[in-house]
Amino acid sequence: MVKTEILGTDATALTRAADLLRAGSLVAMPTETVYGLAGDAGSDAAVAAIYAAKGRPSFNPLIAHVADMEMAQRLADFPPEALALARAFWPGPLTLVLPLCAGAAVAPRVTAGLPTLAIRMPAHPAARALLREFGGPLAAPSANPSGRISPTEPAHVIDGLGGRIAAVIDGGPCDVGVESTILSVAPDGALRLLRPGGIGAEKILEHTGLTLPAPEAQAEKIEAPGQMLSHYAPRGQVRLNVTDPRPDEVLLAFGPSDSRYSLSQTGDLAEAAANLFRRLHEMDRDGIERIAVAPVPETGIGRAINDRLRRAAAPRD
């Protein structure tokens, strides 16, 4: 056990965080999507410690977070389509899976031995300042024990990983609330959606003219290797698309409702995404055993919400 320090977002605190990272320790940092568990992406020992702290299977690769395009292009090759996506959405909740550059300074464990690297430039000011101060890429999965609900507040990080990591930077609640959209871009520019997330497919088309093949049209169903069916699991059982909860169920509402737990009273999808993991953490804390979730529309960020809910509801072993 270590004592997990709670750091602020002022310059002194971020210098302390960068020093801890340089020493190979792990620091949870706020991003606009969820809190990330950051470690030096160039250090095999730091990256091994990330897998150990989360209890994450070693075949599930990590995202390298970067401060700027220069740092990104030292790590991966950017076909023109990837440059267009980066220009439109970075910094922001988009992760690109790209061919790893020869000699890129990332520990092999970051990619779990794959020839591709997932890269993201986060928008949260504290994450950006930390990356600049550290001066190199930070490997950062979501800062939760593997398979559990992702953290959108510092208290969630402490609940899951307190005593196992050196520090948490308290940047308040995350704005977006669901993880980044992950797209792979092949050397010939072909795109695949590996994980729905903070940026909807509609927006990608609107801003870049690039279209994503419909999931049915993908020859084989390729997913990010970490997209296990059961994930984001609260302790209670979860039933989806419920309009009439049973007497023994508690409703997680979407739209006007008198339930104690609501994703958005006004039926706003961005608000629902920001509240999703927070409400699931609350229902866990309150010991709710049966959670009935109201239907959420499958458009824009609603796809990411439904993806996370399906995994939260999936059978566990």
Binding site for ligand TXA (CB under 6 A): 31, 33-34, 36, 60-63, 93, 95, 97, 111, 114, 116-118, 120, 122, 140-142, 179-180, 182, 194, 224-227
Asked if 174 and 35 touch (Cβ cutoff 8 Å), the reply is: yes
| Nearer CB in complex with ligand TXA: 141/245 | 141
Select the binding partner of residue 140 from Mg ion, ligand TXA, none (C-beta < 5 to 8 A, by kind).
ligand TXA
Does 95 bind Mg ion (CB under 5 A)? Our answer is: no
Kindly state the tokens that stand for 133. 């101060």
Select the binding partner of residue 111 from ligand TXA, Mg ion, none (C-beta < 5 to 8 A, by kind).
ligand TXA
Kindly state the tokens that stand for 72. 């990104």
Q: How far is CA 72 from CA 6, 14, 45, 182, in A?
A: 29, 21, 22, 16
In the complex, minimum distance from the CB of residue 141 to ligand TXA, in angstroms, rounded to a whole number: 3
**How far is the C-alpha of 26 from the C-alpha of 35, rounded, in Å?**
13
The residue with tokens 């208290």 is: 155
In the complex, minimum distance from the CB of residue 297 to ligand TXA, in angstroms, rounded to a whole number: 22
Does 142 bind Mg ion (CB under 5 A)? Our answer is: yes
* Helices 269-285 and 154-161: angle between axes, nearest 10 degrees: 40
In the complex, minimum distance from the CB of residue 55 to ligand TXA, in angstroms, rounded to a whole number: 13
| Nearer CB in complex with Mg ion: 142/180 | 142
Backbone angles phi, psi at 141, to 5 degrees: -85, 175
| Nearer CB in complex with ligand TXA: 196/245 | 196
**How far is the C-alpha of 241 from the C-alpha of 296, rounded, in Å?**
7
Select the binding partner of residue 31 from ligand TXA, Mg ion, none (C-beta < 5 to 8 A, by kind).
ligand TXA
In the complex, minimum distance from the CB of residue 289 to ligand TXA, in angstroms, rounded to a whole number: 26
Which among 136-144, 193-201, 242-250, 271-279 is the span making contact with Mg ion, rule CB under 5 A? 136-144
In the complex, minimum distance from the CB of residue 74 to Mg ion, in angstroms, rounded to a whole number: 25
The order of strands in the sheet holding 27-29 is 5-7, 167-169, 27-29, 36-40, 138-139, 63-65, 116-120, 94-99, 181-185, 191-195
| Nearer CB in complex with ligand TXA: 7/253 | 7
| DSSP strands (E only) in the chain | 5-7, 27-29, 36-40, 63-65, 94-99, 116-120, 138-139, 167-169, 181-185, 191-195, 237-239, 250-254, 261-264, 290-293
In the complex, minimum distance from the CB of residue 308 to Mg ion, in angstroms, rounded to a whole number: 10
In the complex, minimum distance from the CB of residue 150 to Mg ion, in angstroms, rounded to a whole number: 6
Asked if 177 and 309 touch (Cβ cutoff 8 Å), the reply is: no
Select the binding partner of residue 146 from Mg ion, ligand TXA, none (C-beta < 5 to 8 A, by kind).
none
| Nearer CB in complex with ligand TXA: 16/195 | 195
Tell me which residues touch Mg ion (CB under 5 A): 142
